[in-house]
Structure 1
Amino acid sequence: MKTARARMIFDCLRKAVQAEGAGLTDGQLLRRYFAHRDEAAFAVLVRRHGPMVLAVCRRLLRRVEDAEDAFQAAFVVLARKGVRIAERQTIGGWLHGVAYHVALDVRRRGARRQTKEQQVEDMPHPLVMPTKDQSELLAVLDREMARLPEKYRLPVVLCELEGRSRKEAARQLDLAEGTLSSRLATARKMLAKRMAGHGAAVTGASLTALFASEAGAVCVPGPLVAATVRAAGGVVSAGVIALAEGVLKAMLLTKIKGAALVLLLAASVGVGTVSLTYRTVAAEPQAKADAPRPTARAVSPEKDDLEALRLEVEALRVSLRATRERVKVLEAKVDRTLPQKKTETEREIEHKLNTPVTLNFTDAPLKQIIDDLRGWENVNIYVDQLALDQEGVSLESPVSVKLENVSLKSALNLILKQVHLTYIIKDTVLQITSESAAR
């Protein structure tokens, strides 16, 4: 009887959370998650976009286990990098691209395992041979959709893959319904043209039918939703972590290389502009001085041009060397900035931080409270004294707190907030440090 009552209460709470999240945009849910680590908000995102993400993974991967690992990894990437897209109204297009590339990575790894004696060509997209099989056509569609400009990809993801009405999609994208319909039609034409390049003769209308046959056909199992929400919080298998880190690293390297190319082009344009100005200004007095001597006028500009070209080439070489060094430095930081797999000790610390505690201190020194916490929960706490000194915070700073039956994590946040400090879990210990040092 008690079990049935507990289930009833749980179902009511779950429905209430879903109902509350239903009225929020993706960006609002993301901001709630990152501000408060609100797992309920993240669960709404998983349920909202899960069918589309799982469908992408299943189309590229044969094994159910591989598809579910890729599904979890896509949302782990969202939990790690989603703060950068939290201002968007909808994240469906972004998630489609992440899911596609995660599933593609799983597919490549499987190919390498199966054919160790044969080197597998590492292409940015899989060369899927078109067949009459619907899943293969959809896999090719996923590939081409990932290459569409975002303003055309988003309407397709929302209307075709997630089954939203044009009115709802237009509202989420902050577009007039007519504008959305126009972009959707353009996207269909672009996709049909690209599909034709793979030997698949499809029209805009047949694409709609193909999408319609897939929309809503995938249901994400409840246990997979729960496991994905836990994975976002750090409780995740090594395989899923490896997939997520691979995509995160690829995203970062793409950004680094893009920035390097922009820098090199900017340097090239800058040097070219300077050399052109130099040649123009230098040629004017030379032309005036040599007007009576046409022979000299023909020789001098040629020498000027060669010298300017030499200087331009040398400047580009210097700029290229500097850019390469910068890229090396940034690439060296990649492994240090990517999230690492948590150790057993770090997981134990996180478990202890969820333990409920009752605290009652009035103007107690911060050091006393830290010592008491060490003893109560047997947590290995390290105080970053250098960071505290830089912030001008003393362990003798008075702190007042009165809390009953709250998690140690919440209590610690409230205590440290009073003295503008925070904590991180690093090198198997809980470190109390300044907010700037933690960043």
Structure 2
Amino acid sequence: MVRTMNKCDETTVLNAIATCRFASASDAELLDAWTRDQLAEAFATLVNRYSVMVLSVCRRKCRCVSDAEDAYQTTFLLLAKNSAKIRHADRLAGWLHRVAQRSAVATLNRTAHMSEPDESLGEMVVIDNPLDEIAARHEAIILDEELAAMPERYRAVLVMQVYQGDPIETMAERFQTTVGTIRGRLQRGKKMLADRLRRRGVVPLIAISASMTTQVSSVEAASAASQLLGMLESSSIPPSPPLSESLLNPLLVNGRNLMSPWNLGCGAAIAGAIGVLLMGPAEGLVGASGGDTVDVVMAQKADADSEAAAVQFPAVKPADLSSVKTKQGSVAKVEKVDDPEVSELAIRLKGELDRVSDVSIDGTVESLADELQQQLGLPVLLDKRALAFAKLSPEQMLNFDSSQEPLRTSLRKLLDPLGMKATIENEGIVITANPSQLVHLGIGTDRWLSVDDETMRLFTEKLSESLKLQFIESPLRQVVSQLHESLGVNLMIDHRALDDIGVDDDFPVNYSLGGEVAAYDAIQMTLRSYDLELTVRNNVLLVTTMEGAEESLLSRIYWLEGLALDGNFDSLTQLIQTTIKPDQWEALGGRGTIGIGPGERPSIIVNQTYDIHRQIESLIDTLRSNSFHPQSKDTGAHKSTPARFGNPASGFGGGFGGGFGGAGGFMN
């Protein structure tokens, strides 16, 4: 008896023929044929190639078969409709996996009547123990979720190996890159994935095994593909997906990486962090607020836990004051404060701040304290260690004249341009460094901890020089040698790291750019095409793999004056971790860490790759250059520091290194 072939059977046969015909074509070639030429056979090949993977992801996550079919169809219909928006066609496997995962999640959020779970969901594999089946499905779902949240370049190769079973050579052909590059991406991707899974209490090997046992059969996948392609054949344009595109469109714009739950949750927080950093009220200017209190730093008696404390004085009231005769004959009002930690001299000096007087300086920086003491009749000391910090020469000449102005105003006009400030201590007025001013001059902003700071600054200077590079099939060792000669710094190849991914220093490098660009940018653009990057180890610049860079994290402290953080240091750390390579921070399974630094000055200590450190430096510089808050705002921020910084009373005193607390007396 001869059976007549129905439409579904015919579609299945044609799909099989198309799949065989274009089996050797890469994803990028097939997607291009569909996007530009509307070649249905190319699209059918892609559907059949990834049908098992997409349907398996949907079946595991969805409540019932009908929902899984809707998610499956939505995934490929969105591919048909948005193929031109996919920027990295060679990473299509990772794109499809993530869209399938999101489509399956979207079915859980639909408000329509939910049918009872279909028993066929539990028949993907025969397992004697139902608990084992539930556990396997749960672990496979976690694997899907963590894969979907990984960076695109690693997700793509992992999907092709774990779900598709493609050999490395095949992946290299489809990605149009070297076997060593694919091996490096797999190595790094597996490590990242394993860390993410273990954070959720899942053993990586068990999760991968579970994904295999919960995978749909090729027959089921072929049936779903035939149904989908038959639907496409009957329509001149791709039909609308079963799931609302409003649930998925934000994830598909320009083919960029889909947002992970971490990034989605932190999006609003980033905007808030920027607002905190740049949009605080302008408080603390001389005469600006007319507030009831004035913050002045007074030195404490030395003890085991503190050297100085910020003491808050009430506003001056005539009834509370006594009179003190000054050298120039004026009467200064001094507040009576019963505090054994604050000397009578310090209280008197506080009252002198508003005294109207003349100040004239004509001498060297080194003689500044003596001249002020002679003119004002008040004890003045110079912190000489602060001069070196502020990069001031003791022999630098000063010429300054101020007539009939409050002392606080004259001192600010005199010292601000020098990056210095005056603080009140029990011994007198101390002239010291003002980090809040110096950071705007690029002084005292950061310091490398795990490598030599001067060497790193030399590297930064050399890598900022403009270069014009062109390499055509040049061996890597030749490229590195040429860069070494052009920059005049030690630049070497990390042979051990390259050996780990099967790459030697003979592999060809190509790079060409018309004009000159900064050396660092040119080098990074050249290396990133091969999953390589720059790092520093033992004070030597190294060309290494991404894995090698992550194994040699660099420590650096960043001081935070001039950012008007108002004590909200978490806003900055969150901003850094959510905008600069989020997957490389500990919170998302990476190795990088960030924490609050010790000491009197507000700071963070970061352990990260050289490239990320450069991005952090750029971010902080940008925020600082666009912050115009008065420095007293920083004083308030540092005094309100949480307990993890140590005792607030002991953290910020006058003298060198005292952050900006001491400036309050003169800058308020």
Measured after TM superposition, the shift of residue 12 of structure 1 is: 7.0
Residue matched to 2:40:
39
Counterpart-to-counterpart distance in 2, 1:173 and 1:251: 21
**Superposition deviation, residue 289 in structure 1:** 5.3
The reply on whether 1:290 has 2:292 as its aligned counterpart is no
2:143 pairs with 1:30:
no
Question: Which sections of structure 1, spanning at least 5 residues, go unmatched?
Answer: 115-129, 272-283, 314-439
The corresponding residue for 1:321 is none
Query: How far apart are 1:212 and its partner, in Å?
Result: 4.4
Map 1:194-343 to 2 at 5 A: 194-200=196-202, 202-203=203-204, 205-214=205-214, 217=217, 219-229=219-229, 230-231=231-232, 234=237, 236=239, 240-252=241-253, 290=400, 296=409, 298-300=411-413, 301=416
Write the distance in 2 (CA, Å) between the matches of 1:224 and 1:148.
27
Q: Which of 83-92 and 140-149 deviates more?
A: 83-92
Q: Which residue of the partner structure matches residue 590 of structure 2?
A: none
Question: Structure 1 length as normaliser, TM-score?
Answer: 0.50
Take 1:2 and 1:193, find their aligned partners in 2: how far apart are those partners?
55
Shift of 1:189: 2.6
Distance 2:11 2:139 in 1: 41
Q: What one-letter code is carried by the residue in structure 1 that aligns with 2:153?
A: K
Mark the CA change 1:3 to 1:251 in structure 2 (over 3 Å): closer, same or farther. Answer: closer
In 1: Cα distance, 2:35 partner to 2:161 partner: 28
SS of equivalent residue, structure 1 residue 290: strand
Aligned equivalent of 1:163: 165
Q: 1:364-397, CA deviations, whole angstroms, 9 ceiling, x for partnerless residues?
A: xxxxxxxxxxxxxxxxxxxxxxxxxxxxxxxxxx
TM-score (norm 2): 0.35
- Quickly say closer, same or farther: Cα 1:176–1:216, change in 2 above 3 A: farther
Q: Sort the Cα spacing of 1:291 and 1:80 in 2 relative to 1 into closer, same or farther, 3 A.
A: farther
Instruction: Compute the displacement of 1:105 (Å).
Output: 0.8
Query: Which of 1 and 2 has higher RCO (CA within 8 Å, sep 6+)?
Result: 2
1:68 deviates by 0.5
- Asked if 1:193 corresponds to 2:303, the answer is no
User: In structure 1, what residue type is equivalent to 2:144?
Assistant: D
Give the letter aligned to residue 138 of structure 1.
A
CA–CA separation in structure 1 for the residues paired with 2:144 and 2:8:
39
| Post-superposition CA distance 1:282-301 (Å, at most 9, x none) | xx9xx965378996553234
Q: Quote the offset at 1:28 in angstroms.
A: 1.5
Q: Which amino acid aligns with 1:49?
A: Y
Compare CA radii of gyration and give the structure with the larger one.
2
In 1, are the aligned partners of 2:53 and 2:163 still within 8 Å (CA)? Answer: yes
The one of 175, 178, 195 equivalent to 1:176 is: 178
Percent of pairs with identical residues:
23
CA–CA distance in 1 between the matches of 2:108 and 2:163?
22
Question: Does 1:139 find its partner at 2:145?
Answer: no
Does the 8 Å CA contact 1:50/1:220 hold for their aligned counterparts? no
- 1:243 Cα shift? 3.0
Could you list the per-position Cα deviations for residues 61-117 of structure 1 after superposition, in whole angstroms to 9, with x for gaps in the alignment? 121010000000011111121112266234100111111111111112269969xxx
Residue 92 of structure 1 pairs with residue 202 of structure 2: no
Distance 1:96 1:112 in 2: 27
Give the partner amino acid of 2:400: D
Question: 1:178: how far off?
Answer: 3.6
Unmatched segments (≥5 aa) in structure 2: 116-131, 280-391, 422-435, 441-562, 565-668
Tell me how far apart the structure 2 counterparts of residues 55 and 247 of structure 1 sit (CA, whole Å).
Answer: 19
CA distance in 1, matches of 2:401, 2:32: 71
The answer on whether the counterparts of 2:102 and 2:248 sit within 8 Å (CA) in structure 1 is yes
Larger helix percent: 1
CA deviation profile, 1:260-309 (whole Å, cap 9, x unmatched): 999999999999xxxxxxxxxxxx9xx9653789965532349xx99x9x
Which residue of structure 2 aligns with residue 370 of structure 1? none
Structure 2 match to 1:62: 63
Tell me the equivalent position of 1:103.
104
Partner secondary structure for residue 79 of structure 2:
helix
**Counterparts of 1:186 and 1:80, CA distance in 2:** 32
Distance 2:267 2:108 in 1: 29
Q: Distance in 2 between matches of 1:36 and 1:226?
A: 22
Partners of 1:14 and 1:222 in 2: how far apart? 9
How far off is 1:48 after superposition? 0.6
Cα distance in 1, alignment partners of residues 147 and 7 from structure 2: 45
Amino acid aligned to 1:187: G
2:267 and 2:63 mapped to 1: Cα distance?
Answer: 37
| Runs of at least 4 residues off by over 6 Å | 4-12, 111-114, 257-271, 291-294
Shift, 1:19, TM fit? 2.2
Q: Is the 8 A contact 2:54 2:97 kept in 1?
A: yes
| Partner of residue 420, structure 1 | none
1:154 corresponding residue in structure 2: 156
Superposition deviation, residue 186 in structure 1: 2.8
* Superposition deviation, residue 27 in structure 1: 1.7
Residue identity matched to 2:209:
A
Q: Distance in 2 between matches of 1:5 and 1:131?
A: 37
Considering fraction of residues, name the structure with more strand: 2
Structure 1 residues 210, 223: closer, same or farther in 2, change over 3 A?
A: closer
Question: 1 CA distance for matches of 2:16 and 2:277?
Answer: 58
CA distance in 1, matches of 2:247, 2:194: 31
- Given that 1:25 and 1:89 are in contact with CA atoms closer than 8 Å, whether structure 2 keeps it comes out as yes
1:175-216, CA deviations, whole angstroms, 9 ceiling, x for partnerless residues? 43343233323322322222222222x14x445534444567
Q: In structure 2, what is the Cα distance between the partners aligned to 1:131 and 1:195?
A: 19
Moved more, 215-224 or 257-266: 257-266
Which whole-Å CA distance do the structure 2 matches of 1:100 and 1:5 have between them? 33
Q: Deviations over 1:297-354 (max 9, x none)?
A: 532349xx99x9xxx99xxxxxxxxxxxxxxxxxxxxxxxxxxxxxxxxxxxxxxxxx
Paired with 2:242 and 2:72, the residues of 1 have a C-alpha distance of 12
* Superposition RMSD in Å: 4.9
* Alignment-mate amino acid for residue 30 of structure 1: L
Q: CA deviation at 1:252?
A: 4.3
The 2-side partners of 1:223 and 1:216 are apart by 11
| Contact 1:25 1:90 survives alignment (8 Å) | no
Structure 1 CA distance, aligned partners of 2:194 and 2:101? 19
Separation of aligned partners in 1, 2:28 and 2:74: 20
Conservation of the 8 A alpha-carbon contact between 2:34 and 2:40: yes
SS at match of 1:22: coil
Aligned counterpart, 2:360: none
Deviations 1:120-172 (A, max 9, x none): xxxxxxxxxx9961111010111111111122211110000111112212222
Q: What amino acid maps onto 2:200 in structure 1?
A: H
Change (3 A) 1:142 1:14: closer
Cα contact 1:192–1:207 (8 A) shared by 2: no
